[in-house]
Structure 1
Amino acid sequence: MLAKANRITRGADYKATVRRGARATDTNTVTYIRPNPDSQVVRFGFIVGKTVGTANRRNLVRRRMKAIAHELLPQMTPGMDVVIRALPGCAQAEWATLHEEITRSISRITSRGNSRR
């Protein structure tokens, strides 16, 4: 599980990351990353809408994404906000597929720059 310091908790932070962050779209997820000069840690947020499925399915997807974020945490540069949005196909995605997709999206964004100018 992610520590409280590593979670985005305010709606304004979600909104800023989604609106002003760099985006990478994949089959099952959309990943947004934005530098956050006010923070010295990497913070993650997750958006799993009702289009993903029932409450049980949405919670499963959210738990998987949190576990993947926990694994990726040590590899990331501090001072970043990451929001991962689950698309409807995420409900049927295997763990390995989801892990590879999120890892690839994050590396794609960080390799081309941290945010849009």
Structure 2
Amino acid sequence: MLPAVHRLRRSTDFAAAIRDGRRAGRGSVVVHLYSPTPVAVSGPPQPEPAPSGGTGSPSPPPRAGFVVSRAVGNAVRRNTVRRRLRHLVRDRIPGLPAGTTLVVRALPAAATSPYDRLAADLDAALAAARGPRRPGRRPR
């Protein structure tokens, strides 16, 4: 199970990640990855500020949420897909930067995909969402 600090619960958080995040779809899943601070792609790493005596708030942990619509199947099938995705994301969430919001949307193909195929699709979609933008594409 995904720890409580890593769960998205409010619809406003889901909407913000879907609206402002980077989207990538692969096979049976679509991921929306939103990071409030842009990640520097080049240059020397900047040192992190020293923690103050507890007056500053620590950076928020990465959080994840799941969207599994009725198009995926009946309630049993949807919950099975959601549990599989939750288990897969639990292993990948430590690799996300602090403050990142991840929304994983299951496509109807997720209902019949084997576990290893679902994992491969999730990994490919996360890699595409974290990678550089393709040149020549303009946001709408």
If the length of structure 2 is used for normalisation, what is the TM-score? 0.76
Q: In the alignment, what sits opposite 1:93?
A: 113
Q: In the alignment, what sits opposite 1:81?
A: 101
Write the deviation string for residues 82-105 of structure 1: whole angstroms up to 9, x where unpaired.
001011111000100000111111
- Indicate how the Cα distance of structure 1 residues 75 and 60 shifts in structure 2: closer, same or farther if over 3 A, else same: same
More strand by share: 1
Instruction: Please tell me the residue identity of whatever aligns with 1:31.
Output: V
1:39 Cα deviation from its structure 2 partner: 5.4
For the residue of structure 1 that corresponds to 2:131, the secondary structure is: helix
1:73 Cα deviation from its structure 2 partner: 1.5
Distance 1:22 1:14 in 2: 13
Distance 1:9 1:94 in 2: 27
Moved more, 6-15 or 27-36: 27-36
Q: In the alignment, what sits opposite 2:29?
A: 29
Distance 2:94 2:64 in 1: 13
Distance 1:36 1:54 in 2: 35
Q: In the alignment, what sits opposite 2:89?
A: 69
**Is residue 2:40 matched to residue 1:40?**
no
Distance 2:128 2:81 in 1: 22
Q: In the alignment, what sits opposite 2:2?
A: 2
Which blocks of at least 5 consecutive residues in structure 1 are unaligned?
Answer: none
Instruction: Please tell me the residue identity of whatever aligns with 1:68.
Output: L
Count of aligned positions: 115
For the residue of structure 1 that corresponds to 2:9, the secondary structure is: coil
If the length of structure 1 is used for normalisation, what is the TM-score? 0.90
Instruction: Please tell me the residue identity of whatever aligns with 1:3.
Output: P
Distance 1:66 1:50 in 2: 18
Q: Which runs of 4+ in 1 moved over 4 A?
A: none
Does structure 1 conserve the Cα–Cα contact (< 8 Å) formed by 2:26 and 2:124? no
What is the RMSD computed on CA atoms of the aligned residues? 1.9
Write the deviation string for residues 22-70 of structure 1: whole angstroms up to 9, x where unpaired.
0001121110000146952110000000010010000000000000001
Instruction: Please tell me the residue identity of whatever aligns with 1:19.
Output: R
Over alpha carbons, which structure has the higher Rg?
Answer: 2
Determine what percentage of the aligned residue pairs are the same residue. 31
Distance 2:6 2:59 in 1: 10
